[in-house]
Amino acid sequence: MTSSIEAGEQVLKTDEVGRVRTPAERREQLLAEFERSGLSGSKFAALVGVKYSTFAGWVIRRRKQLGSASVAVKPVDSVRWLQAVVEQAQAPGEPSGLMLQLPGGARLQIHQASQMALAAALLRALEKPC
């Protein structure tokens, strides 16, 4: 049986125990994406398929190399990941729009594009600690 490698795939090396060795450039790409993502370390590690303990070790080593102050502060305009589900309206006369379900059970429904700026301002205000 022969196996072929498609374009874009890469062979990952393993150690004697069978653990996958991630190349340094790929590790740096993942860490840079993590800093931009706004996700927690455990969620990001699960998303990219890396054990959390391994990922946490990468983050700690990188912070030591760069100095903790330069990495600890995330940029203001960092990317935020959001799960979106598109559902059909239940009844023919039911208004359609964008429904945001916020932590704690609160819901925000937007019916017009002009409401987007208000919704964004509300979400920014809710993001700040009390």
**Residue corresponding to tokens 């374009």:** 7
Q: 124: number of CA atoms within 13 Å, CB side?
A: 9
Number of domains in the chain: 2
Asked, for residue 102, whether it belongs to a domain, the answer is yes
Range of 128's domain? 82-130
pLDDT tens readout for residues 59-77: 999 888 887 555 444 555 5
Do 66 and 92 share a domain, yes or no?
Answer: no
Confidence of residue 36 (pLDDT cuts 50, 70, 90): confident
Per-residue pLDDT, averaged over 96-101, amounts to: 77
